[in-house]
A and B are shown apart, each in its own frame.
Chain A
Amino acid sequence: MRKLWSKICGLGFFMTVALPQLALAAGEKAAPLVLVADTRKLSGIMKYWADLYNESHFWFTALTVVLIPVIGLIFGVLADLVMSHIGIDLKSRDLAEH
């Protein structure tokens, strides 16, 4: 049983780790795709955002990752306030699979 289990684990490991590595090795011949944002038609905050993207992918990524949960939290709290006015119990429910 232990032998079979180790074989299954080994195969799973190969499929999930080794195969993508082989695929990546095969892909090295292709030229990498580089995108640059066109800022000519943009202004204000949109231009700032596109400039940030062109100048530093790192800061652009960091700001995006921070902004998404913050904005989600703000919208979520606002939506929560609206729902709390309906008058239903928003803290419990019955457990059942039926």
Chain B
Amino acid sequence: MDWLYVLMPISGVTIFWPGLVILGVGVGIIGGFFGMGGAWMVTPGLNILGFPMAFAIGTDIAHMAGKSLISTMRHGKFGNVDYKLGVIMIVGTVGGFEVGAQMIMWLERIGHVEVVVRWMYLVLLGLIAWMVFADVAKKRRKEREAAARGEEVDKLATGIEWHKTFHKIKIPPMMHFKMAQITCSAWLPIIISFLTGWLAGILGIGGGLIRMPALIYFIGCPTHVAVGTDLFEVMISGLYGTASYTYKGRTELVAAIIMLVGAAMGAQVGTVATKYIKGYGIRIAFGLAVIGCAISVLLKLMAKWWPPLATTFDNMATTLILGLVATMSLYIFVKMVQGAKQEVAAKKRGMS
């Protein structure tokens, strides 16, 4: 069964390549649907398949740049990408990313990279999950209160509305973003993107995990536009990250290309699925995925704390991550197929 394994030319590790394709399909679907690169699944996934952590980060960023390009092309056709907002955010993202990437290289030299990255992942995932579910709970409370008054809440209403406070800051230049339907100071997306880029550089991710909720809660984008614009950002920051990590010798292009084979189809499925699932459906699924990811990172940390049980915890984390990728991508795939079937049936009824 040697043909199932490929020797990676730079890192020198032997990798089970069908695992890379499967991982690519799964995160392609999830990434296209949630508007992110999916590094939070890919980096531990590549680590599990046998890549050292630094290579897992670099290879993941290279693959996500290609995959996000595919998803952005599709989201752009749906009108989900605010290119003006995306271009403005690139300034902050690139600056922040380089500061973060330099920091991770320092951590690698002193030998604490894995522990620090995992702890930061955990704290951040906890905060994001809290934010998403606080938003959902608030929205439901608004709906209940409106129902008690015999009214209905607006279809585009949201739970958490922090962006309204940020929009009151009128530092020039003020800008209008047509696709996102918002007007705010240009400094708001620049500062938000710098902070998210910095965190992305440290964690070795494209930043979608942080930027997608930031676009919704701090900048005020509708969910679908946040997904599409974020993917455009992930594509650019992913390319920049690829250059940065490759120059530092931490990218395995062969593995990234193998993953792209699966990710190309997965990204299309995930993107088209956003056509059939409403904004809050995406937010809730996103929150659940974040919780699953946080548990897997915690298990990895527990493996370090209790060495006698390390194998058990590692296996549990592996099962959880792979189970999470499989379940989420299957759910999105089924929703996409159901939606497509209904649309095709409706078209046929209209023609007859």
Residues of the B chain whose Cβ atoms lie less than 8 Å from the Cβ of A16: 96, 99, 194-195, 198
Assembly CA distance A83 to B70 (angstroms): 13
A-to-B contact residues, CB < 8 Å? 5, 9, 12, 16-17, 20, 23-24, 26-27, 30-33, 35, 37-39, 41-42, 46-47, 49-50, 53, 57-58, 60-61, 64-65, 67-69, 71-73, 75-76, 78-80, 82-83, 86-93, 95-98
One digit per residue, 1 when the CB lies within 8 angstroms of any chain A CB and 0 when it does not, for chain B 75-112 equals 00111000000000000000010011011011111100
Task: Judge whether A87 and B347 touch: CB under 8 Å.
Answer: yes
Given contacts A16-B195, A64-B251, contact A86 B106 (CB under 8 A): no
Assembly CA distance A79 to B29 (angstroms): 13
Task: Judge whether B155 and A97 touch: CB under 8 Å.
Answer: yes
Least CB separation from A2: chain B residue:
B171
Task: Judge whether A72 and B70 touch: CB under 8 Å.
Answer: yes
Closest 8 CB pairs of A and B: A72-B66, A75-B264, A27-B106, A76-B70, A97-B279, A50-B9, A30-B109, A93-B275
Least CB separation from A86: chain B residue:
B340
Assembly CA distance A89 to B105 (angstroms): 46
Residues of the A chain whose Cβ atoms lie less than 8 Å from the Cβ of B96: 16
Assembly CA distance A74 to B267 (angstroms): 14
Residues of the B chain whose Cβ atoms lie less than 8 Å from the Cβ of A20: 99-100, 102-103, 198
Within 8 Å by CB of A97, from B156, B198, B264, B272, lies B156
Task: Judge whether A27 and B110 touch: CB under 8 Å.
Answer: yes
Residues of the B chain whose Cβ atoms lie less than 8 Å from the Cβ of A41: 7
Task: Judge whether A68 and B109 touch: CB under 8 Å.
Answer: no
Task: Judge whether A47 and B9 touch: CB under 8 Å.
Answer: yes
**8 A Cβ contacts from B212-239 to A:** 222-224, 239
Besides A88-B275, A97-B280, 16 other A-B contacts (C-beta < 8 A)? A17-B99, A24-B103, A30-B110, A42-B9, A49-B254, A60-B246, A64-B251, A68-B239, A68-B256, A72-B65, A76-B264, A79-B264, A88-B343, A93-B224, A97-B223, A97-B279
Given contacts A37-B9, A79-B264, A86-B344, contact A98 B279 (CB under 8 A): yes
Task: Judge whether A83 and B9 touch: CB under 8 Å.
Answer: no
Within 8 Å by CB of A72, from B67, B102, B198, B247, lies B67
Task: Judge whether B246 and A61 touch: CB under 8 Å.
Answer: yes
- Min C-beta distance of A55 to chain B, whole Å: 13
Assembly CA distance A96 to B276 (angstroms): 11
Least CB separation from A17: chain B residue:
B99
Given contacts A65-B246, A93-B78, A96-B279, contact A38 B12 (CB under 8 A): yes
B253 at the interface (CB under 8 A from A): yes
Within 8 Å by CB of B195, from A12, A53, A90, lies A12
Residues of the B chain whose Cβ atoms lie less than 8 Å from the Cβ of A39: 9
Residues of the B chain whose Cβ atoms lie less than 8 Å from the Cβ of A30: 109-110
Within 8 Å by CB of B12, from A37, A49, A79, lies A37
**8 A Cβ contacts from B97-144 to A:** 99-100, 102-103, 105-110
Residues of the A chain whose Cβ atoms lie less than 8 Å from the Cβ of B280: 97-98
Within 8 Å by CB of A24, from B63, B102, B169, B222, lies B102
- Min C-beta distance of B264 to chain A, whole Å: 3
Task: Judge whether A75 and B10 touch: CB under 8 Å.
Answer: no
Task: Judge whether B62 and A68 touch: CB under 8 Å.
Answer: yes
B191 at the interface (CB under 8 A from A): yes
Assembly CA distance A9 to B169 (angstroms): 13
Task: Judge whether A71 and B257 touch: CB under 8 Å.
Answer: yes
